[in-house]
Amino acid sequence: MVALPYILDSYYYIFEELSSPITKGWFLTRKPYLMIGLVTAYYYFCTNLGPRLMKHRKPFHLAKVLLVYNVVQIIVNFYIIIEAIRYVFLSNYYDMRCKGLETDEKIATWVANGMWVYYLLKVSELLDTVFFVLRKSLRQITKLHLHHHMLMVITCWFGTTYYPGGQWVLIGFLNSIVHVIMYFYYLISGLGNRYKKYVWWKKYVTIVQLVQFVLIAIYNINSMFYECSYPFFYKFFGTFYSVFFFTHFAKFYYDTYVNPKPKRKTLNNIKKQ
């Protein structure tokens, strides 16, 4: 019984005292079990439950749903871009060399709100994979796809809960630009076969993603040579994260567009592993 008070005290310290007071009580922040439960349910549904439920069913026709979904994603990502431009480029608050949290409560809350919306956007993007399952497009559910979506939610939870601001903003800005391009591609390609000729630039979406990872890595590495309140661990993690996904997306690009192979790591391969 001695261990129970220690566990409770540790839980309170880690998830209450260490977390940002700005985002306290905001939806899907702080409480780790909500985020962990969401990510776990997502993985289980997309790799196990969903495919089993759809095995003897016809794929859902979700053209109208996807049309609305893609438009909403574009609009919200545009909102993130505009807010980031206002903060990073049109104000005197942001230092491109190294940037910590704002000391002014009003500005800090404004920045945190943008990060929170960005976090919820990453949560909503889990629907990408759910739609693949419902449409029985299981070949598109790769290990890279699953891991990227899950890690984005986990990373954004940490950022919004513990450090809602600083250099996260510019990273989210770059990522939102990529996602506007990506969801615009999805929007056009989902309009029907007569629009297929307008989406010849599919491989360039991946190239833009690769450029994004390079820019984020350079930005984080450069900031290591300057001091500010932004923790060094976040700089290191941002660099590692960018390099990690750059290598995986580069491999995807090579295997898909440079040297196509008959088999990729799809859902069936995941189950076997």
Whole-angstrom Cα distance, residue 194 to residue 267?
A: 30
Angle at 184 between CA 88 and CA 213, to 5 degrees: 50
**pLDDT tens digits for 68-120?**
999 999 999 999 999 999 999 999 999 999 999 999 999 999 999 999 999 99
| Residue 102 near residue 44 (C-beta atoms within 8 A) | no
Contact 189/199 with Cβ under 8 angstroms?
yes
Q: Is 102:93 a contact under the CB 8 Å cutoff?
A: yes
Active site residue 149: no
pLDDT at position 11: 82
Quote the pLDDT of residue 51: 96
Task: List the catalytic residue out of 56, 148, 149, 179.
Answer: 148
Residue with more model confidence, 262 or 84: 84
170-225 pLDDT, tens digit per residue, is 999 999 999 999 999 999 999 988 888 888 999 999 999 999 999 999 999 999 99
In angstroms, rounded to a whole number, what is the distance separating the alpha carbons of residues 26 and 172?
A: 19
Q: What is the pLDDT of residue 59?
A: 96
Closest CA to 157 of 182, 130, 131, 121: 121
175: nearest Cα among 219, 144, 143: 219
In this model, does residue 270 exceed pLDDT 70?
Answer: no
Please give the pLDDT value at position 16: 85
DSSP code at position 10: H
- Residues ≥6 apart with Cβ < 8 Å to 14: none
Supply the mean pLDDT for the chain.
92
